[in-house]
Amino acid sequence: MEFSSLQPTIQWMQTPEPTPSCPPGLEYLSQINELLVHQRFDLLKDLSYFENNKIYEVMNNQRQRIYFAEEKCNCFLRQFCGSSRPFTMTIYDATGRDVITMHKAFSCGCCWNNYFLQKLKIEAPPGETIGYIYQCFHPFWPMFKIKNEKKEDVMKIKGPCVISSCLKDLNFNVLTMDEERIIGNISNADKFGIQFPFDLDVKIKALMLGASFLIDYMYFELWP
C-alpha cells in the first residue's frame, strides 16, 4: 500500500531519522505533543482495497498527516455488536508500512463483572506488544488503566461523570496512578484530539492513541 500520493494538497509530516531505542515508525511521535484523529469517508473510493473497513487519518497539530488507521472488523459484528465488537486496528505510515496494531476481543456490554470489561492490546511494530488499555469498573466515572508490556500499571484515564452521545465536547484526563497530576488528555470536538508532553515516552504516546480509539468506540463514534 502506498499512501503518499493521496490528496497531495495535504502535507505529510517529514519522516524523522530512525533511532535505535524507538520502535520503527514511532519516531514521528517523538517530535509532537498532540495528535488529531479524523474518520475519512472521502478516501474510500481511492483506497478500494479497504473495502468496507473504516479508515482514519492521524495528524499533528499542524494538520500534517502522520498515519492512516484501518479498522478490520466483520460488518455484521460492527452493525449488531456496536462498542462490544472485536476488531483489529492497523496503523500505517506514508509508505504503507504497518507501524502499530491494536487488538480488541469481543466483550459483553455489561460492566458489572470484570470479565466483561473492555481491553485493548497494542503492538509496535506488529507482533511486539508494548502495552494494554484496561477498562476499570467504577460506578460513576469512566476509568481506564494504561499498562506496559509486562501489564504493570503506568497511568490512569478518567472521564467525565456524565457520558452522553448528545454531548459534543468530552474530555478524558490522563493521570498519574495516584491521580495527583494530569499528564495529558483525550478529547472529542470536531476531531478526536490527544495531548501529551513532548518528552513522554513514544510507547506511552502510542498507548494513548490506542486508548483514544477504545474510548471513541465505547462512547461516541468519530464523524467528519
- Confidence class of residue 26 from pLDDT cuts 50, 70 and 90? very high
Indicate if the pLDDT at residue 11 is higher than 50: yes
The strand pair at 119-123 and 170-175 is best described as unpaired
- Confidence class of residue 19 from pLDDT cuts 50, 70 and 90? confident
Which pLDDT belongs to residue 136? 92
Distances (CA, A) of 183 to 57, 160, 176, 201, 211: 24, 16, 7, 12, 14
Which pLDDT belongs to residue 223? 41
Indicate if the pLDDT at residue 160 is higher than 70: yes
Distance CA 39, CA 171 (A): 19
Distance CA 132, CA 129 (A): 8
| Exposed e or buried b per residue across 140-156, where buried means at least 16 C-beta atoms within 10 angstroms of its C-beta | eebbbbbbbeeeeebbb
- Distant-in-sequence, close-in-space partners of 167: CB < 8 Å, separation ≥ 6: none
Question: Nearest 5 degrees, angle CA 93-CA 99-CA 102?
Answer: 125
7: alpha, beta or left? (left if phi > 0; alpha if psi -120 to 50): left
More confident residue, 182 or 10: 182
**Can you tell me the mean pLDDT for 112-135?**
86
Q: Are 27 and 18 in contact (CB under 8 A)?
A: yes
Distances (CA, A) of 219 to 127, 164, 214, 216: 28, 7, 9, 5
Most confident of 15-19, 38-42, 91-95, 186-190: 91-95
Which pLDDT belongs to residue 113? 44
pTM of the full predicted structure? 0.85
Percentage of the chain modeled with pLDDT above 90 = 52
Chain mean pLDDT for the chain: 82
Indicate if the pLDDT at residue 48 is higher than 70: no
More confident residue, 23 or 80: 23
Which pLDDT belongs to residue 79? 55
Indicate if the pLDDT at residue 2 is higher than 80: no
Which pLDDT belongs to residue 117? 84
- Distant-in-sequence, close-in-space partners of 134: CB < 8 Å, separation ≥ 6: 117, 118, 119, 144, 145, 147
The strand pair at 119-123 and 182-188 is best described as unpaired
Tell me the residue type at 89.
M
Which pLDDT belongs to residue 213? 92
151: alpha, beta or left? (left if phi > 0; alpha if psi -120 to 50): left
